Structure 1
Amino acid sequence: MKSIKTSIIIALLIVFNTNAQVQKEQKWVSIIRNNESSWFATNEAKAIAENVLLYQRNIGGWPKNIQMQNPLTADQKKQLIAQKSDTKEITTDNGATTQEMLFLSKIYAQIPDERYKNAFLSGLNYLLEAQYENGGWPQFYPLKKGYYTHITYNDDSMANILNILKQIIDKTGYYSITPDDATIKKTQIAFNKGIDCILKTQYKQNGVLTAWCAQHDEITLLPANARAFELASLSGQESAKIVLLLMSLKNPSTEVITAVNSAVVWFEKTKITGIKIESVIGEDGKPNRVVVKDSNAEPLWARFMELNDNTPFFCDRDGIKKATLAEIGYERRNGYAWYTNGPKEVLKKYEDWKKKIESETVASPKKNQVTLKDEFNIVVDQKGNGDFKTIQEAINAAKAYTSKRINIFIKDGTYYEKVKIHAWNPNISLIGESREKTIITYDDNFNKIALGRNSTFYTYTVLVEGDDFFCKNLTIKNTSGPIGQAVALNVNANRALFTNCAFLGHQDTLYTSGEASKNYFKDCYIEGTTDFIFGDATVLFENCVINSKSDSYITAASTPKDNTYGYVFKNCKLTADANATKVYLGRPWRPYAKTVFINCEMGKQILAEGWSVWSKSDTEMSSFYAEYKCTGEGFQPKTRVNWSHQLTDAEAKNYTIENILDSNVTSSTKQWYLKSM
C-alpha cells in the first residue's frame, strides 16, 4: 500500500513539474493570448505579473524580447529596480509594451491590484508621449539613433499601438482598465493622427495608391531602409494589419475607404500562387527552407517588393538584392519570414466590409455632411454666405484623388487657422477674393511646437502635400514675430503654382521641399529675416518682390546633388526694410545648394560679396551660386566671392521656364504651370 501511495505522489510531482516546465518553455506572447481568463487569477499569473512590473521602466514602456514568465533571482530583481530610470532600449518593436499592457489588463480583470492599473496607464501614457506630431511612431522612444527613428509599421508595431488606442476610445471593454476622460480625449487625438499618418504614407506607384512599407522616413514620409537586408520596399506582411485596422473603423471617411479599396486591388495584383514554403533536411542534417511548386497551395505574398513594379526580392546581410530565396545565405534564408499569408484575412473580410459600407452610405448619409451645389467649385466665407466658414472644412470635404480640378473660392477675411492640403487632395485651387484682404494666418513657432530639432517643419500656417496645387490672390502669414523659426508656407508637393500671393513672416517664411518637386511663384511678395526662402525643391520665382526685414540671408537652398536647378529668381526685385543694410543673397543649407538670380533688381542692402558659405568652406566647391545681368546698387559682380559665378550668355539661355519646370515630367504634365493660370 505504501508503495502505491509513493508512486501516486511521484506521478503527481512529475505532472506538476512537467506542466511548470511547459509553461516556462511557452513563449511570452502565447502565455498572454492563449490562457483562459481564469488562469490570470492563479498564483502563477501573479508571480509573472511581479516580473512585468519589475521590467517596466519609469518612462512607462518595456524593453523587447523578454520572456517575462522566467523566474528571477534576487540579484536580477535588484538589477531591474536599479534600471527603473534607464530609458535606453524601450520600444514597441516585437510586441514590446503593447503585449505587457494586455497582460496587465487581463490580470487586473481577475485581481484588481491598483499596481496593475497604474502600470497599464503608465504604458498608455508612454505610447501617447512617443508619437510624432505627424501621427507616426518610432521603433524606440526615447529616440535611438539610426533607422530606429523612422515611422515603423514593421512587425505590426504601429498597428498594435493603434488597436490599443481604438479599444480604449471605443470603450469596448476589451481592456479592463479605463483611463480618465482627459486621457481618453488625448487617446482620441493620437488615434486620429495615427490614421492620418497611415493615409499619408500609403505608397503611390506611378500615381496609383498601393500599400505600405515597413518603414517610412519620419520627415518626408517616404519609404526608408532599416537593416541591411530590410531595404525600402512595399510590404505584403505589414500592409495586411494596416488594412484590417482601417476596415475596423466606424463610419470610415472617403479617404479611408479609398485606401482600403486601393490596397485590396494591390493585394490581388501581387499574390503569388502555385508555390509553398517547406522546411527540408539537407545533406548536412540541418533544416532548410525551400520554395516548392504546388498548384493547390494557398496564395502567398512576398515580404519585400520593389517600389516601382512589385517584383519580390530577397536580401542577405550584405544588402544586395537577390531574385530568389535560394540565392541568399543559410542564416537569413532560415532566420527571417520572407513570405506571408497575412493579406488572405483582408481578402476574406473585404466583400462583407464593402457591402456594409455601401449599405450604410445609402441608409444613413454622413452626419453633418454638407451637400455641395457644385463639388468642383466650393465657396468659403467666414460670414456664412458660402458652403463653409473655414478653409480646412472645404478642403476636407473635397473629393480625394480627383483628376478634375477643385476650385475653392475664399471670400475676403482673416482666417485664423492652420490649413493642410492633404496628399490625397491633388488638383486643389485656393483662390482668394483679393491678395490684400484674403488672409490666412497662424502663429506657431519652433519653441511653441517644442517637438525637438525638427520642430521647424511643423510651424507652418499652410501645408501643401497635394500635387498640382494652385494658389492665387491671397496672403499667408506666420505672425509669431522675430522669435526664431516660424514657417508661413510649407510646400511638399510637385507642380505647385502660386500667383499674386504674399507670404509674410520672419525666419523661415517659405519652405519648399521634395527632391523631385517643381514649384513656380509668379508675381508674388515674399518677406522675412533669416533664410526665409529655404528647401530642396526646384523653384522658379518670376516677377516677385523679395523683401528682407533685417540683416541676414535671403535663401538657404538644400538642392540635391544631381538636380540641375535649385532656386532660380528671374526678373525679381530685392528690397529691404530701412534697418536692413547687410543682406546676403544666400548660403547653402546643404553642400550642393544651387541659387541663381537673373535680370533681378538688387537694392543697396545686398552686400558686395553677395554670398556666404555658412562656415562650411567645402561648400565653395560643391555649391553653385550665380547671377546674370542684374541691376541696382546691390549688383556688384566684380566684388562677389570668387567661388560664385556670373553666367555667360550661353549659360543663361538654359534657364528657361521649360528647362527648369518641365524636365523629368510626363507628357501629360508638360507646361503644367500654364494650365491653372
Structure 2
Amino acid sequence: MSYKKILILKFSLLFILNLNAQIQNKSWKNIIYKSDDAWFASNEAKEIAENVLLYQRDIGGWPKNIQMQDKLAEVDRIALTLLKPNTKDITIDNGATIQEMDFLSKMYKQIPDNRYKEAFLKGLDYILEAQYKNGGWPQFYPLKKGYYTHITYNDNSMINVLNLLKEIKDKTDFYSIKPNDKIILKAQNAFNKGIDCILKTQYKQNGILTSWCAQHDENSLLPAKARAYELPSLSGYESADIVLLLMSIENPSKEIITAVNAAVTWFEKVKITGLREERTYDEKGKVNDKKMIPDENAPAIWARFMELDDNRPFFCDRDGIKKYSIEEIGSERRNGYAWYVTSPEKVLKKYPKWKVKNGITALKQQQNDKYYVVVTQDGSGDYKTIQEAINNSKAFPYERITIFIKNGIYKEKIKIHEWNTNVSLIGESKEKTIITYDDYFNKLSLGRNSTFYTYTVLVEANDIILKNLTIENSSGDVGQAVALSVFSHRIVVVDCRLLGNQDTLYASGIGKQYYKNCYIEGTTDFIFGSATAFFENCEIHSKKDSYITAASTPKDSLFGYVFKDCNLTSNDITSKVYLGRPWRIYAKTVFINCTLGKHILPEGWHNWSKSEAEKTSFYAEYENRGEGSNTKSRVSWSHQLCKKESKKYTQKNVLGNSNWYENI
C-alpha cells in the first residue's frame, strides 16, 4: 500500500474517531461491567480485546467514546496501527482509559495473555505521567488547549483515576494484574497527592467548607468554567463521588474528616424536597420534554449547578446565560442534560456508619470549634438556642465565628451584643429556619420609646452576617412591632425573610448596612431609621395602604436608603402606598431600576405634615418600571435623577470599601 493511501486511511479514521466522540454510547461500558466473569474467556471477548489493544496509543491512554465491540475492517486496523504514535485526544474523560484498563484486567484473569498485562501497565504509566504536581489531573493529556487543562472532577474523571490507584496501592484483588513494588509506591504517592488536591479545592463559602466544582483552575485551584453551559458553580453531582472516595479511606486524617463533615452538612442544606422530574418520551423512547412537578412525596434531589455564593440552583443554554428555572432554557439543553441528580443520597445513607466507624460523635466543620458551632433544637448540635450560642462566643474575635442554625422554629428574643463582633448567623434554609417573637408597643408599655424594645433580633455589634433566615415579629397588626433592629456598622443581611407589620425593619445608627436578595414585608413605615443602607434585588411587600420607608438620615450623611433592582409588591387589598415619608427632616431615600407595582401612589412621597422637610429631605428615582413608576404626578419636591447623577449610587460609593460585603 502506498504512503499516500496510508495517509488517507489515517486521516479518514481520525475523522471517524472524532465523529464517534460526539456520540455517548453506553454499550461498551455495559460490556465491561455487566458481563459475567466467564464471558471474558469467550472468543467474542478475545476479539474485542484485540480492538482494545489496537486503539491504545503508544503513550498508554485511549481516546473516549469508542465502541470497542464494533468489528474492524482490515483498512481500519491499518489506520489504527498508523495512529499508535499519535497523542491527540487521549483522555480520562467519559471513563476513557480507566474502563479499558478494567476490561483488560478482567480479560487477564480469564486468559493470562501477557499483552493484556503490558497494555494495562502502560495505561497505568500514562495515568501517573498525566498528574499535575499539585495532585490534580487534566481532562486530556498531553494537554489540549482550552478548558481541558483544568483539574477535572467532571463526570467523575479524576475520581475514577483515584479509585483505580487506591485499589493498586492497597494491593487488593480488584485488579488481576499486579504491578511491581516500585509502581505501587508511585501509585500510593499519586493517590496521596490527589487527595491533597481534593482537600485544597473544597470550596469555602463565607469561610465555611462546602463542596466542589466540576472543574477547578489548575493554577489557582478555584472553580472554573468549561463548556458555555458549565459555568463555575458548586456541583451536586461530582461532589458526591468525591465524598464517597474520602469516606472509603481507612483511618482518615482530621482534614479528611473535616472535609466529609462539611460536605455532608452542605448536602443536607441544599437538598431539594417536594419536587419531582417528570419526563415525556417520543415514539422512539427518546426524552422530548422534562418538567419539574411539585410532589410532597418525592425523594430528595440536588441541583447539578449551584451559585458559589448562595447555593441557588441555575441552568444554562449554550449561550451561557444563567437562568433560575429549568423551564427558561430551550428544549435541547433542558432535555439533553442531567440538571438534577440523586447521587448525594448515597453519601447521606453511608454517613452514619462512617461516623460510628471513625468514632465521630458530633458534626463539626472546623477543627477549631470555637469558630464554628451548630444550633439544633433536638440537642444533636452544640447548643439548643441561638442566644446561648451567641453568649458563649468569644468577644471581639480575630476570626469570624459562624453559628450554623438547623431548621426549626426558634421562639427567642435575640441580642447580638456590642462585643460579639465578626459573627455570622447562617440558617439551614430561609424558609424553615425561623426566629420569631411577639413583643409589641402596648404589650411592653415601657413608655413612649417602647417601639425600640419590641425587636425579635437586635444587632448591636459590627461586622455581622445574617443569612438564610426568617426573622419574624409574630404579634400581628397591633401597632409598632420590630422584627429586625440593626444600628451598627458593616452589617450584611442576605437571603433572609423579614416578616412583620408596622416597623418591621429598624435600619438605624450611623453605620453602613447591606441587604441582598431579601423579602421584607410590612404595613406602615416598615423600613425606618437613620442608617446608610443599600437594598439590592429585594422584594418589598406592602400589606396595607400606608408608607414603605421612614428614613431619619442624619443631616451630614451623603446617602440614606438606596433601593436598587428591587421589586415593590403588595397584596390584593392594598392600593395606596407611598414610597416614603421623612421621620426626620433630612431623610434620604432613592429607588433605582426598581419595579414599582400599581399600589404605589402617583404622588409617590409624603411630607409627614412637615413642610420644612420638602426643602431638606432628598427623595429621588431613576429608571424605575412597572405600573407605579409613572413620575408625571410625583410631588414637586421629589427628584428624578439624570444618568450622571444616578452613577454615584453604586455599592462602592454608598457602602465604601467592598471587602466586607462583596463576597457574601
CA distance in 2, matches of 1:193, 1:231: 27
Q: Corresponding residue for 2:169?
A: 108
CA distance in 2, matches of 1:643, 1:230: 43
Question: 1:159-558, aligned counterparts within 5 Å?
Answer: 159-167=240-248, 171-172=249-250, 180-182=253-255, 184-198=257-271, 206=294, 208=296, 210=298, 211-212=300-301, 214-218=303-307, 219=310, 221-222=312-313, 224-227=315-318, 228-229=330-331, 238-250=340-352, 368=380, 396=406, 398=408, 406=409, 408-410=411-413, 414=417, 416=420, 417-421=423-427, 422-423=429-430, 425=432, 429-431=436-438, 434-435=453-454, 439-440=458-459, 443-444=462-463, 460-464=465-469, 473=482, 475-477=484-486, 479-481=488-490, 486-487=491-492, 489-493=493-497, 499=503, 501-504=505-508, 509-511=513-515, 513=517, 519-520=521-522, 522=524, 526-527=528-529, 531-540=533-542, 542=547, 545-548=550-553, 550-552=557-559, 554-558=561-565
Q: Corresponding residue for 1:637?
A: 636
CA distance in 2, matches of 1:131, 1:371: 23
CA deviation profile, 1:478-504 (whole Å, cap 9, x unmatched): 8554xxxx41x3344596768565345
Cα contact 2:435–2:456 (8 A) shared by 1? no
Against the structure 1 CA distance between its residues 181 and 383, is the aligned structure 2 distance closer, same or farther, given a 3 Å change threshold? Answer: closer
CA distance in 2, matches of 1:233, 1:469: 44
CA distance in 2, matches of 1:103, 1:246: 24
Residue 130 (structure 2) pairs with residue 55 (structure 1): yes
Q: TM-score under structure 1 normalisation? A: 0.49
Against the structure 1 CA distance between its residues 474 and 137, is the aligned structure 2 distance closer, same or farther, given a 3 Å change threshold? Answer: same
Cα contact 1:93–1:140 (8 A) shared by 2? yes
Residue 116 of structure 1, CA deviation: 0.9
CA distance in 2, matches of 1:557, 1:152: 27
Residue 100 of structure 1, CA deviation: 2.4
The partner residue of 1:148 within 230, 233, 251 is 230
CA distance in 2, matches of 1:16, 1:627: 77
Residue 124 of structure 1, CA deviation: 1.0
Cα contact 2:233–2:305 (8 A) shared by 1? yes
What residue identity is the alignment partner of 2:262? I
Question: 1:642-661, aligned counterparts within 5 Å?
Answer: none
Residue 99 of structure 1, CA deviation: 1.8
Residue 53 (structure 2) pairs with residue 20 (structure 1): yes
What residue identity is the alignment partner of 2:468? L
Against the structure 1 CA distance between its residues 100 and 195, is the aligned structure 2 distance closer, same or farther, given a 3 Å change threshold? Answer: farther
Secondary structure at 1:429 match in 2 = strand
Residue 598 of structure 1, CA deviation: 4.1
CA distance in 2, matches of 1:571, 1:34: 72
Against the structure 1 CA distance between its residues 604 and 188, is the aligned structure 2 distance closer, same or farther, given a 3 Å change threshold? Answer: same
Residue 47 of structure 1, CA deviation: 3.5
CA distance in 2, matches of 1:22, 1:118: 30
Count matched residues. 443
Residue 408 of structure 1, CA deviation: 0.5
Secondary structure at 2:197 match in 1 = helix
Residue 33 of structure 1, CA deviation: 5.9
CA distance in 2, matches of 1:567, 1:130: 45
Cα contact 2:506–2:528 (8 A) shared by 1? yes
Secondary structure at 2:152 match in 1 = coil
Cα contact 2:537–2:566 (8 A) shared by 1? yes
Against the structure 1 CA distance between its residues 223 and 53, is the aligned structure 2 distance closer, same or farther, given a 3 Å change threshold? Answer: same
CA distance in 2, matches of 1:191, 1:382: 22
Secondary structure at 1:149 match in 2 = coil
Secondary structure at 1:104 match in 2 = helix
CA distance in 2, matches of 1:234, 1:498: 49
Against the structure 1 CA distance between its residues 531 and 520, is the aligned structure 2 distance closer, same or farther, given a 3 Å change threshold? Answer: same
Residue 508 of structure 1, CA deviation: 6.6
Q: Corresponding residue for 2:113?
A: none
Secondary structure at 1:556 match in 2 = strand
Cα contact 1:56–1:62 (8 A) shared by 2? yes
Residue 586 of structure 1, CA deviation: 1.6
In structure 1, list runs of 5 or more residues that go unmatched: 1-12, 69-75, 254-364, 373-377, 386-390, 399-405, 445-458, 614-618, 631-635, 645-677
Residue 18 of structure 1, CA deviation: 6.8
CA distance in 2, matches of 1:639, 1:90: 55
Cα contact 1:571–1:598 (8 A) shared by 2? yes
Q: Corresponding residue for 2:86?
A: none
Which moves more between the two structures, 421-430 or 104-113?
421-430
Residue 551 of structure 1, CA deviation: 0.3
CA deviation profile, 1:108-141 (whole Å, cap 9, x unmatched): 3341226414431343135414879694544333
Cα contact 2:211–2:234 (8 A) shared by 1? yes
Residue 87 (structure 2) pairs with residue 30 (structure 1): no
Q: TM-score under structure 2 normalisation? A: 0.50
Secondary structure at 2:640 match in 1 = coil
CA deviation profile, 1:557-602 (whole Å, cap 9, x unmatched): 31469999999656643548xxxx7x753242x4757787443548
CA distance in 2, matches of 1:43, 1:479: 69
Q: CA RMSD in A?
A: 5.8
CA distance in 1, matches of 2:632, 2:48: 90
What residue identity is the alignment partner of 2:413? I
Against the structure 1 CA distance between its residues 414 and 530, is the aligned structure 2 distance closer, same or farther, given a 3 Å change threshold? Answer: closer
CA distance in 2, matches of 1:556, 1:62: 46
The partner residue of 2:152 within 88, 91, 95 is 91
CA distance in 1, matches of 2:489, 2:49: 69
In structure 2, list runs of 5 or more residues that go unmatched: 1-45, 57-61, 63-67, 69-94, 110-115, 172-183, 217-222, 277-291, 319-329, 356-376, 393-400, 445-452, 644-664
What residue identity is the alignment partner of 1:246? L
Residue 91 of structure 1, CA deviation: 3.2
CA distance in 1, matches of 2:473, 2:295: 12
Secondary structure at 1:611 match in 2 = strand
Q: Corresponding residue for 2:656?
A: none
CA deviation profile, 1:454-497 (whole Å, cap 9, x unmatched): xxxxx73253269998895565548554xxxx41x334459676
What residue identity is the alignment partner of 1:221? R
CA distance in 2, matches of 1:124, 1:593: 47
Identity across matched positions, percent: 10
What residue identity is the alignment partner of 2:169? Y
Against the structure 1 CA distance between its residues 503 and 242, is the aligned structure 2 distance closer, same or farther, given a 3 Å change threshold? Answer: same
Cα contact 2:456–2:471 (8 A) shared by 1? no
Against the structure 1 CA distance between its residues 575 and 200, is the aligned structure 2 distance closer, same or farther, given a 3 Å change threshold? Answer: farther
Q: Corresponding residue for 1:341?
A: none
Against the structure 1 CA distance between its residues 476 and 28, is the aligned structure 2 distance closer, same or farther, given a 3 Å change threshold? Answer: farther
Residue 221 of structure 1, CA deviation: 1.8
CA distance in 2, matches of 1:16, 1:382: 62
CA distance in 1, matches of 2:152, 2:501: 42
Residue 128 (structure 2) pairs with residue 128 (structure 1): no
Secondary structure at 1:51 match in 2 = helix
